[in-house]
Structure 1
């Protein structure tokens, strides 16, 4: 990857492809990609990121819920790199809440997501991991997981009336 990887934007083909699994956890390119993902997410005030957003169609995401300028009310959790993730629904209650995306700047939308999921994944060394995620971190995971399936959050919106400009979103949360 380049020194400062660019986050690809809606319209880029890679965002519509199903990502391939990682099978070599010793490859230097894989570890550089993990580092690039972390750096790009932090520099962009993101709370999660997926490899396709850096133009790499591989099954890697980072979930890193924390308060940021983009999500001031997000709960704190340590960043977790999840390779080849899969999930099961723990709580089938669906909640609509606001989402944005580093690959779709300038807008926010109300998106329905499962309230709680159990995630099985591999860590950066290929070891198995499992987490139960609830509420905002579960939302972040599902959003990033969609990127691995060739979907963006706007594909989940129930009505176009649930899409607003980011400036309007900030007026609403500041009120």
Structure 2
């Protein structure tokens, strides 16, 4: 897959990854690194190397393009992820999905817990599962804790689409792919979603494909 040897120390593996210019290679479903989970970040990378790695994650996420990227997706088993969403969507989609712009943010050792019992279901995709989307029901609001790249504490409630993004990326750090939580009957190619299921909500897809919504 073009990723550094699993046997090398993490700092050496990250240095090797960053030796090449441009976006990093995103590993895809079937690569064990996506399923092993991660170790908490506790200074395994010196501050300069961490900053370079975070920048590489940003470049790779934007190039893909995506709204989030977790370290395991580039072969690094550290509890680090980045998110960013300019949310260039029509107003009806913004309202239905609660999709509002999110600035670039770094999540170090993130964990989330639901806030309330409400759940929301929408089509979701993943850079590590290219070409496909499926409907995932997730908590509509979550409390996210952790740190930023400077070690400052993070304790924030996310709602709407931002809540979905932070859940998706934090799941990656636990070895969980969105497909593990998806309605299997909803699985659709990007083409099918664009041609058939581009509505703001997946209600029509649920009726036609035969899967439940919360």
Compute the TM-score of the two structures, normalised by the length of structure 2.
0.75
Contact persistence 1:26–1:125 (CA under 8 A)? no
| Corresponding residue number in structure 2 for 1:58 | 78
Q: Is there any run of 5+ residues in structure 1 with no aligned partner, and where?
A: none
* 3-state SS of paired residue (2:119): strand
Mapped pair 1:162 → 2:186: yes
| Corresponding residue number in structure 2 for 1:43 | 63
| Corresponding residue number in structure 1 for 2:109 | 84
* 3-state SS of paired residue (2:86): coil
Aligned counterparts of 1:26 and 1:123: Cα–Cα separation in 2:
15
Structure of higher CA gyration radius: 2
CA RMSD of aligned residues (A): 1.9
Q: CA deviation at 1:29?
A: 2.7
Q: How does 1:119-134 map to 2 (within 5 A)?
A: 119-134=144-159
Structure number with higher helix proportion: 2
Mapped pair 1:108 → 2:133: yes
Q: Is there any run of 5+ residues in structure 2 with no aligned partner, and where?
A: 1-17, 201-214
Aligned counterparts of 2:130 and 2:145: Cα–Cα separation in 1:
30
Aligned counterparts of 2:199 and 2:154: Cα–Cα separation in 1:
37
Q: CA deviation at 1:18?
A: 1.1
Aligned residues: 172
Structure number with higher strand proportion: 1
Match of 1:32 among 40, 44, 52: 52
| Corresponding residue number in structure 2 for 1:18 | 37
The more displaced of 28-37 and 75-84 is 28-37
* 3-state SS of paired residue (1:33): helix
Contact persistence 1:63–1:137 (CA under 8 A)? no
